[in-house]
């Protein structure tokens, strides 16, 4: 029996699919029986200009190989039009890959509102608009698969990318919430931080390294996560590229509980600092801490070791 993961009869929308990772996803899904909407605005990597050529080239390549694809040239900011293309051409949507992206790298000192806003429009608003338009279809048919695209810059920060980092980490919170809201309807959402050779990375990485980072090597994980056989891996964050696949998760220190009375001062916090940041007994939370339970426990504690006298009178404290 063939072990191929197939997507026959399914409709996949890939944004920013005129090149790089998006193109690799499209070619793969079409080769496995899916009908594909190849969306691309066709601008520069800085988000300037537009052209239908990028999407057309990929559609032609898929059709020439016997696959099914249509082009869409809208900006992801108009995600509803992209999803409409899927419905008009193929009558449904099953998988959404929010992949479109641009860069506006500049040191924070020199960052302009325009650099910030454009990055948020494309990455955050674009992903929202596409997912929002697909959501009613996913709910109604009790089936949907979403991949959002973060970045190592979003998870860890990167020089010159304050705008991009903030937008890319937004993809994590967005995905975690979609996962929680969608699971009841068999809508599975995951977020990847890929690494691959593309026009985005070709100017910042040496050719020998780029040769080891084929976009095609991000595709298998995306296939596994979006396949109908995946019914439980949702809300997860993955690093993927160059053969490496790893899952990331949040870690919470066991923390420190302080008594909430007038001994709860900055000095009391400082006295417990080593415990606050001690990760020797970590938790891996998927939700907020149990604040009600913790508050009850904290009330039972003895007074804190203050380290300083509290004064909430508003008087300017004298240096002692
Ligand atoms: P790419 O530049 O080859 O592909 C991005 C595509 O998005 C382009 O074809 C571009 O025309 C399209 N696009 C840009 N703005 C658009 C808009 N408003 N509407 C529709 N299409 C639009 O770059 P690559 O590397 O393939 O990037 C794909 C995704 O992966 C991006 O979200 C990027 O931020 C992310 N990423 C890539 C990494 C890498 O190592 N290549 C690293 C981390 C994240």
Cβ < 6 A, ligand 1 pocket: 15-16, 18-22, 39-43, 45, 47, 54, 75-76, 99-102, 122, 126, 149, 151, 194-196, 198-201
HSE toward the beta carbon, residue 124, CA cutoff 13 A: 18
Cβ count near 177 (within 10 Å): 12
Is this complex's ipTM strictly greater than 0.95? Answer: yes
CATH value of 11-248 in 3.40.50.720, 3.30.70.141, 3.40.50.10800, 1.20.1250.20: 3.40.50.720
Starting from the edge strand earliest in sequence, which strands make up the sheet with 95-98, in order?
Answer: 68-72, 35-39, 11-14, 95-98, 144-149, 187-194, 237-241, 244-248
Q: Would you tell me the crossing angle of helices 20-31 and 53-64 to the nearest 10 degrees?
A: 30
Going from the Cα of 130 to the center of ligand 1, the distance in angstroms, rounded, reads 15
Q: Where are the domains positioned within the chain? A: 11-248, 251-320
- Per-residue CA distances from 318 to 269, 309, 311, 314, 315 (Å): 20, 11, 11, 12, 9
Q: Does pLDDT of 56 surpass 50?
A: yes
Per-residue pLDDT band at 285 (split at 50, 70, 90): very high
Mutate to test the pocket of ligand 1, among 24, 152, 200 (most ligand atoms within 8 A of CB): 200
Using alpha carbons only, what angle is made at residue 302 by residues 300 and 303, rounded to the nearest 5 degrees?
Answer: 125
Please give the number of the atom of ligand 1 that sits closest to the Cα of 149. 32
Q: Considering the entire predicted model, what is its pTM? A: 0.95
Going from the Cα of 202 to the center of ligand 1, the distance in angstroms, rounded, reads 13
- Per-residue CA distances from 290 to 65, 259, 279, 287, 302 (Å): 55, 16, 18, 9, 21
Per-residue pLDDT band at 3 (split at 50, 70, 90): confident
Q: Does pLDDT of 167 surpass 90?
A: yes
Q: Looking at the annotation, which residues are catalytic?
A: 164, 168
DSSP string, 118-165: HHIIIIIIHHHHHHHHHHHHHHHHT-EEEEEE--HHHHH--TT-HHHH
Under 8 Å CB-to-CB from 217, ≥6 apart: which residues? 196, 240, 241, 242, 243
Q: Would you tell me the crossing angle of helices 219-226 and 20-31 to the nearest 10 degrees?
A: 50
Q: Does pLDDT of 207 surpass 70?
A: yes
Going from the Cα of 66 to the center of ligand 1, the distance in angstroms, rounded, reads 26
């Amino acid at each position: 029996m063939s072990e191929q993961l197939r997507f026959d009869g399914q409709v996949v929308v890939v944004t920013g699919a005129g090149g790089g990772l998006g193109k690799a996803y499209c070619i793969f899904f079409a080769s496995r029986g899916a009908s594909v909407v190849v969306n691309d605005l066709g601008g520069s990597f800085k988000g300037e200009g537009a052209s239908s050529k990028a999407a057309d080239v990929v559609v032609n390549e898929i059709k020439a190989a016997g696959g099914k694809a249509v082009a869409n040239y809208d900006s992801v900011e108009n995600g509803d039009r992209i999803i409409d293309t899927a419905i008009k051409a193929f009558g449904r949507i099953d998988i959404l890959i929010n992949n479109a992206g641009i860069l506006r790298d500049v040191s924070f000192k020199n960052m302009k509102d325009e650099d910030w806003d454009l990055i948020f429009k494309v990455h955050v608003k674009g992903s929202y608009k596409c997912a929002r338009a697909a959501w009613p279809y996913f709910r109604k048919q009790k089936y949907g698969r979403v991949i959002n695209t973060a970045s190592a810059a979003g998870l860890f920060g990167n020089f010159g990318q304050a705008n991009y980092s903030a937008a890319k980490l937004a993809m994590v919170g967005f995905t975690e919430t979609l996962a929680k809201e969608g699971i009841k309807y068999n809508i599975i959402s995951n977020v990847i931080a890929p690494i691959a050779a593309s026009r985005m990375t070709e100017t910042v990485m040496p050719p020998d390294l780029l040769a080891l980072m084929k976009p095609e090597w991000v595709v298998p994980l995306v296939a596994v996560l979006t396949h109908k056989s995946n019914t439980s891996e949702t809300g997860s964050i993955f690093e993927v590229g160059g053969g490496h696949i790893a899952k990331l998760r949040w870690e919470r220190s066991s923390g420190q509980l302080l008594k909430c009375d007038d001994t709860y001062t900055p000095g009391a916090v400082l006295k417990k600092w080593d415990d606050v940041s001690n990760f020797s007994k970590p938790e891996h939370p998927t939700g907020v801490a149990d604040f009600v339970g913790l508050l009850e426990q904290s009330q039972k504690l003895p007074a804190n070791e203050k380290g300083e006298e509290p004064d909430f009178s508003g008087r300017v404290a004298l240096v002692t």
